[in-house]
Structure 1
Amino acid sequence: MEQVTIVGLDLAKRVFQVHGTTADGGIAIRKKLSRAQVLAFFADLPPCVVAMEACATAHYWAREIGALGHNVRLVPPAYVKPFVKRQKNDAADAEAIAEAASRPTMRFVEPKSPQQQARAMVFRTRDLFVRQRTQTINALRAHLAEHGLIAPQGMSNLANIRRLIDEAAAEVEPLVVETAHIYLEQIDDLSSRILKLEATLKQEAARTDASSRMMTMPGVGPITAMAIEAFAPSLCVFRRSRDFAAWLGLVPRQHSTGGKQILGRTSKMGQRDIRRLLIIGAMSVIRWATRKGTTPGSWLHSILQRKPRKVAAIALANKMARTLWAMETRKEDYRDPRLTAA
């Protein structure tokens, strides 16, 4: 068998497809493997480039195969799709992965460590429970509305919803009150779990210098700091601050042609959890600045004078991302906690 230089590995739960190519692009290996055969196959293979789509389980396999001496590259699935020829199947996908990884200008995903994935699991679980709690509250409000009980919106009005149910106990069917209390118990259980997960995130954030440094910036708390540590690669891999902001999808989408620059709305192409949290943090800073007032002539004062608050929040989130990059690459705390200096 000729020397294999690039291997494309199509991941699955039980059946894996391998496509190996030589230096001149010729096909050297086309093979289907079971899950138990994967590591044994790569252990016998001379060191080469092993490419996979950055999908579910990819980071685990990247660590395991990388430990065998191979150079592992994770390719974003969106960048693999253009290389799929006609019909989609496991063999075609593995070939497309190998072809995409061979491109000199291809961009790759940094494999995550077990610690990053553990923190990401805590973050995702909290996010899931928050959504479930919101869904449960909305379902309860909808059911109560069917019986003429209009409940106020939001988690902050949960005490008012309880009082509304207790006061209407004599006016509605007993089954309605009984079922409503089941909803309330579920909401309380989810709230308790969310608080425990938030406490865990705060503890994890306090353990690392990077998270503590990020939290010196207004609008960045322990949850945002841990999201950056869990989902983003080391900020030092970005050449400049704009690259990090672009990776988060906080820059305008381009549709330029003929030498004419045409910019649209934000691209939203990057990591959505970090982008969402930065925008939420930016909105909290803007609300605080609106109440307390901003320094005339400052960047924040200027943009709030010219743009709507939501547009200003996107711009501020972009600025926060760039500042976080500078703080991390220079190992410095945030210098101006007022966020009003130009």
Structure 2
Amino acid sequence: MITNLTNSETTWARKIWISYWYIIGVQLLAQLFSYLFLPYDAQVVEFYYYVLLFPTLKMSATVGLAWIVNKYFRKYSFHTLVVAGTILAILIIRLNTDIRIISALFLLPILVSVIFYRSRLTFFSAILQLLGFILLYIGDESYRSHLSDFDLVAIPCFIGACTLLAINIMSRGRELQEALLKTMTAKQELMIQYAIMRKQAQIDSLTHLYNQASFYEHFDMALTYSGERSSSFFLALLDIDNFKTINDTFGHLIGDVVLSRVAQIIKETISSNDIAARYGGEEFALLLFETDVARAIKLVETIRTTLSSTKHEEMGGKVVTISIGITSYEPGMSKETLFEKADKKLYKAKNSGKNRTVT
């Protein structure tokens, strides 16, 4: 038994209930139009009471009662829809027994079941239509009189064939659904792989900071943004002092440890809005945003002093220092000019004793 409906199924169930009311309205208008504008063999009282009013009330009561059951007994929602559709079809068929094709209305509940892609519901609907046909044939002489011997065989066969077709349609729909799901899953995997590859292309594998190419992308965006808004940012270049000596004395593996440790200190110090990159071998570049001169200098000084007080066990407890050059962007300044200014300050820091910041 179905106990829970998805949001989509609830929406479609509501649409079907509305469709039932629409069918009742169309049936009423069609009967009225036929009586007023086409040859119609019925007296006024007979038509309005027994053709128009009473059948419409029965149909409305059927749909209304079924809707109440559906509202308070949600686990029977689909079955209530099918039963209501079956009764609605029988009432309309009884009212129009002289129309041979009217028996096709037995397909209405079967079509309803197909919408929800539930095979058991479709079989239930088909059995209900066959029972409805048999009861209508036995209990309604007018309907029976309009059927030929061929109809007695054709209508049940027609219901069975349409049920089989409905099952095939649902099977095909499930295949398409599975194929679509596989395609979407494959697309998501490709997107994830692309994101991973793009990140790998942007990140330096040793320090896990941005690489030089990615740094220039952010540098260009920063220049464009600041140029359009006449705002400022800071460019800082950091270089590990005597790094060649470290490699020559302790080996390149220890040199890599030092690079990683410097990068970690940088990451722990800057804000989430700032950009840090490994610009070259032992050189790093920072783009500092949303700050003023004093805070920018304090930030890079924090990096420098933290590193200079960090002892490296791999080097026998020795410390490593860095030199820093920092400058601010001014509206109209080119990328080359800004970088050259920062590079000159770094060069000055190196030549004036190292382990210092020049601004």
Give TM class, smaller chain.
under 0.3
What's the TM-score, normalizing by structure 1? 0.19
What's the TM-score, normalizing by structure 2? 0.19
Q: Higher Cα Rg: structure 1 or 2?
A: 2
If each structure's helix is expressed as a fraction of its own residues, which one has the higher value?
2
